Structure 1
């Protein structure tokens, strides 16, 4: 064997490992959106040097985190084959529930926050039971719940914002969103936790099974209704948490904090762009976080380089359509083994 052959032999396993690592990365649902995210960061930093400054990164983080928290719950619900478009109203109503409990009924701050989250869980429970027990499509169920909550919110608040209760100001407010990076820290913790839940626990595996093959999951003894109801409750609780954090961050309780359906559809967009299939059966929590980061970077970058905000919605719509087409194509490739 020649010296050249001897020298080249060790290089082959290394290149093979690199190819395997590359293929493994590209096979992940988060890969494409992560590449897009990195590309956008590089582009906007070149276009405007202030993009990666700490102040601007804080703005991006504050735009990303609350909706990404909602998107975590949306991923679980989409994977199980359902959808919730009322979560934006839950996010708007939760801070008012805390305010009513503290300022009208004298409830202490922490129990009032827990009460707001508990009522949100009841909303999710109602959505889940109406959908699973009565057979109403989840889109219709949550559309009705959206208007019901909107009516309650406008009637009780008179559509006026109110100040954050004095009882929550200070350390509690700072820790739950008032501090600059608090919401992002909560977001990353929630994403890490529910990534493990979706990929490593029985609940997550059953969620995937229910959305992927409802009949098969039922035959396998999975409690389908329980899984779906639980995921409806998860979405509502995370929506309420995001709404409370936003109220603490802006130091005001605003009836428009959920933006109507804005927070809902942005969370759905983040989940879809990140690799979650609307048809159910597959999804990624990490992808939803990256998808929301992409949307926040786009909007922030447009503002920095002086482009009108109007094209943002055009690009967001195109991104959803392209993501859905790509998801369908990649799913077909996985089923056929790449043929």
Structure 2
């Protein structure tokens, strides 16, 4: 009887265990870099020689007045950038929509109906932007640039280049900017809503797919153009709402407010917060921290007496530095989270 030789078998190497832990969890967060920088900026101005002026309720309210409208618009701009698009008309929508509300009110409509119609007009602006972009395949840069100039002219026509007091009073006015912290509540609600939509809904998945690889997304059944049009409408909706809320807080609808400055700050907040300019990835929460960082720097510069023109220099450096830091942290993710 032949003696059987035992066969030695080698088991396939097991896949490396996924790395876990607090540090690894932090690396997974796209907002890591902007959170750290924001904390550092807050600590610098809070603990410095002007800390007593910085750490007051009134000053925190001033910081909120800076970042709240930027954050509201940045919530839409972040989603649009994730889709691979951009809206350069958002700052002009911010200025135009309050005067649309006034136009309806001056025609004899009551305030709530005028408000609803103005919001619908703001969504219509986004619809036009989205349809021109998707139907005619015209770049969003050119489409929204033209829309921005159009809205700026229409604002001056509607307002006769003069500010006007908002018609809101009572509870509605308090909700839409009259209460001291209502603008902050609006910003936080919108940011949380859009982050949840990005992270936990099909819309968020479709938006990332539309920006990351639109051809593959379309082949897999995603209605890429519909996603982009809907996101243009969301961005314009947030811009119009931010215009009403912010200018009700100020107590005047001003045709010189907003514009390109408001748009650039919102886009800068989104980019600094970790949203990729080329589309496919991003974070709405990061846009909030980006807006807070810009507000802290602007407020801190004001308190310390730094020339206001230097703020634009800092924004330029911050955008580039944020992108470089995001690239570095992305390389760390690839290295340690494989």
Question: Would you call these one fold, judging by a TM-score over 0.5?
Answer: yes
**Which ranges of 4 or more aligned residues in structure 1 deviate by more than 2 Å?**
324-339
Distance 2:23 2:327 in 1: 22
Q: Deviations over 1:32-60 (max 9, x none)?
A: 11111111111101121221211100111
State the partner residue of 2:254: 254
State the partner residue of 1:63: 66
Instruction: Tell me, yes or no, if structure 1 residue 92 matches structure 2 residue 95.
Output: yes
Distance 2:334 2:157 in 1: 51
| TM superposition score normalised by structure 2 | 0.91
State the partner residue of 1:36: 37
Q: Secondary structure at the match of 1:171?
A: helix
Q: Which runs of 5+ in 1 are unaligned?
A: 1-17
State the partner residue of 2:138: 136
Q: How far 1:290 sits from its partner (Å)? A: 0.3
Q: How far 1:178 sits from its partner (Å)? A: 1.2
The number of equivalent residue pairs is 318
Distance 2:39 2:334 in 1: 29
State the partner residue of 2:109: 107
Distance 1:327 1:46 in 2: 27
State the partner residue of 1:11: none
Q: How far 1:200 sits from its partner (Å)? A: 0.3
State the partner residue of 1:277: 276
57, 82, 87: which one pairs with 2:85?
A: 82
Q: How far 1:325 sits from its partner (Å)? A: 2.6
Indicate the larger mover: 139-148 or 322-331.
322-331
CA-based RMSD:
1.6
Distance change (3 Å), C-alpha of 1:241 and 1:314: same
State the partner residue of 1:151: 153
Do 1:273 and 1:288's aligned partners in 2 also have CA atoms closer than 8 Å?
A: yes
Do 2:198 and 2:205's aligned partners in 1 also have CA atoms closer than 8 Å?
A: yes
Q: Secondary structure at the match of 2:79?
A: helix
Indicate the larger mover: 48-57 or 286-295.
48-57
Q: How far 1:27 sits from its partner (Å)? A: 2.8
Q: Secondary structure at the match of 2:21?
A: helix
State the partner residue of 2:291: 292
Instruction: Tell me, yes or no, if structure 1 residue 227 matches structure 2 residue 227.
Output: yes
State the partner residue of 2:4: none
State the partner residue of 2:245: 245
State the partner residue of 1:8: none
Q: Secondary structure at the match of 1:159?
A: coil
Q: Deviations over 1:36-95 (max 9, x none)?
A: 111111110112122121110011111111110000000000000000000111110111
State the partner residue of 1:23: 24
Distance 2:313 2:271 in 1: 16
Do 1:95 and 1:244's aligned partners in 2 also have CA atoms closer than 8 Å?
A: yes
Distance change (3 Å), C-alpha of 1:156 and 1:81: same
State the partner residue of 2:192: 192
| TM superposition score normalised by structure 1 | 0.90
Do 1:246 and 1:257's aligned partners in 2 also have CA atoms closer than 8 Å?
A: no
Q: How far 1:150 sits from its partner (Å)? A: 1.1
Distance 1:146 1:246 in 2: 19
Q: Secondary structure at the match of 1:50?
A: helix
Distance 2:327 2:131 in 1: 30
